[in-house]
Amino acid sequence: MSQEQDQHNLVVEELYAESHEWHVNAGEETIHAKRIQGKFRTLKWLAAATWVLFFIGPYMRWNGDQAILFDIPGRQYHIFDLTILPQDVWMLSLVLLFFAILLAVVTTLFGRVYCGFFCFQTIWVDAFTWIEGKLEGAPGKRRKLDKAPLTLNKFWIKAQKHFAWLLISAFTGLSFVAWFTDAFQLWVDYMTLSASATEWGTLALFTAGTYILAGFLREQTCLWLCPYARIQAVMLDRESLIPTYDFNRGEPRGRLSKGETVEGNGDCIDCNQCVAVCPTGVDIRGGLDEGCITCALCIDACDLVMDKIHKPRGLIRYESIDALEGKHVPPLMKRSRVLVYIIIMTLAFGGIIYGLLNISGLEIKVLHERQPLYVMLSNGSIQNKYELKILNKTHDDMYVTVTTGGLDGVELIGAEEPFLARPGKVTPYTVYLRLPRREMDGSSLSVYFQLQGVEQPELRSTYESMFLGPR
Ligand code: SF4
Ligand code: SF4
């Protein structure tokens, strides 16, 4: 027997040696998934790295302030130079709509990619089980340790693990709270025990939530608690590209005999490696399963096996069910569902861009006094009274001027000096318009008020109102 053949047999023996350890998850025990290298594992790490933004985001500064701050008590959101107040909330709705539809499109095309690669639950579970692996060893060792009686050594190992989990959970909770208040001050408040009850409560809730969901419930969260898993069936169709087992090529599955494929068997050698790496304990060979989060780790596992037994890769691969069954799969842009999603996304995106281009740091609203609608002055002029509501959406005090236009001969009283507009607030001011009686050629004339920043003249806002008089 050649050295190469010996090597091959050894590899196959290794595969089967542990195959009995892997079985489909029925929720009765903790899943200890095997970790292997592969392109989808690398992709998963890269996707997880985007969550670094969640931790460092609150510490980013912009013009001396927190770059992104969701100021709930102040009912305003600061995103770099932009301040979004409750009246601009329609833009946030469009942003949410855009991302909801984006999620639907991606799911239609590639299944639960979000769950497999970007979801905080699966990423935190991945991080927690990585720590578990470092402290407790390979999956087999972990299972033994779980079943072993409590000794000092077991207690010490478990204590370290739970301490690390709690540390990550607490840091997750703190990072969450930091998006809603000054992040640096928050650390001081926690360290000096002077944080508010809401800050303590949210920290406790998120710490406990992360610890329980990622440490204990793990894939059960995806199976039983996550609503998205329930609605995925509506978004997926037979043309969706998802990790799929090629039953044409793999079946009838059967174990190798003396390291060789048995005549008449398919390419699946029933080694269970695809089940071993699955974080939700699914056997993908059973078809589409609601426990599958499409992380594609089983593709990595099976490709490695195929390399070892010198068969082409791709027994498990991204493929649609229709394509596997030899049916025609239309190109992406010819699928009606995709087209509808893209139209909605384009409209939402257009609305967001419109909002961003037109949202101004200054806004003026004008309320016309109703009691009385006008007064006749002794010199024969007609006077109307207005309340200006000046909204300063920037972070600093601002002086603004108010002028009028659109009505010849009208005089603005009360706005001779610039007004002070407080940041993030509506500041009210009262002004009057006077018009000689002879200029009044109707009972209602159109007039507009224009607001402009003194030091930032590019910030301006206009409001159209009415000037009223006798018939
Ligand atoms: S599909 Fe691949 S990894 Fe899974 S049992 Fe068959 S050969 Fe092994
Ligand atoms: S079956 Fe494959 S793609 Fe689905 S969750 Fe398991 S490893 Fe990930």
Tens digits of per-residue pLDDT, 406-431?
998 999 999 999 999 988 788 999 99
Nearest-CA residue for atom 7 of ligand 2: 278
Give the number of whichever ligand sits closest to the CA of residue 281.
2
Instruction: Give tens-digit pLDDT for 28-86.
Output: 678 899 999 999 999 999 999 999 999 999 999 988 889 999 988 877 788 887 777 77
Residue minimizing CA distance to atom 8 of ligand 1: 271
Please give the average per-residue pLDDT across 355-381, as a whole number.
87
409: CA distance to ligand 1 center in Å? 87
Tell me which architecture the domain covering 362-468 has in CATH: Sandwich (2.60)
Residue 283 Cα: closest atom of ligand 1: 4
Closest atom of ligand 1 to CA, residue 253: 6
How is residue 265 written in tokens? 């068997």
Kindly write down the DSSP assignment for every residue of 50-85, as one continuous string: TTHHHHHGGG-EETTEESEEEETTTTEEEETTEEE-
Question: Tens digits of per-residue pLDDT, 78-99?
Answer: 888 777 777 777 777 888 888 8
Residue closest to 124 by CA, chosen among 179, 169, 58: 169
Nearest-CA residue for atom 4 of ligand 1: 274
β-pairing verdict for 68-71 and 82-84: unpaired
Q: Give the pLDDT confidence of 95-125 residue by residue, as tens digits.
A: 888 888 888 888 888 888 989 999 999 999 9
Q: Is 331 helix (H, G, I), strand (E, B) or coil?
A: coil
DSSP 250-288: HPSP---BTTBPPTT--S-----HHHHT-TT---GGG--
Higher-confidence position of 341 and 234: 341
15 close to ligand 1 (CB < 6 Angstrom): no
How far is it, in rounded angstroms, from Cα 382 to Cα 427?
A: 27
Q: What pLDDT shows up at residue 355? A: 78
Q: pTM for the full model?
A: 0.79
Question: How far is ligand 2, taken at its centre, from the CA of residue 175, in Å?
Answer: 30
From ligand 2's centre to the CA of 295, what distance in Å? 5
- List every span in the chain annotated with CATH 2.60.40.10: 362-468
- From the CA of 299, how far away is ligand 2's center (Å)? 8
DSSP H/E element including 204: helix 197-212
How wide is the angle at C-alpha 405 spanned by C-alphas 371 and 457, nearest 5°?
Answer: 110
How far, in Å, from the CA of 291 to the mean position of ligand 2? 8
Which token pair is 267?
């390419």
**Ligand 1 atom nearest 285 alpha carbon:** 1
Which of 142-156, 219-233, 386-400 is predicted least confidently?
219-233
pLDDT score for 34: 93
Q: Which residues pair with 471 in a beta bridge?
A: none
Confidence of residue 6 (pLDDT cuts 50, 70, 90): low
User: Can you tell me the mean pLDDT for 439-445?
Assistant: 84
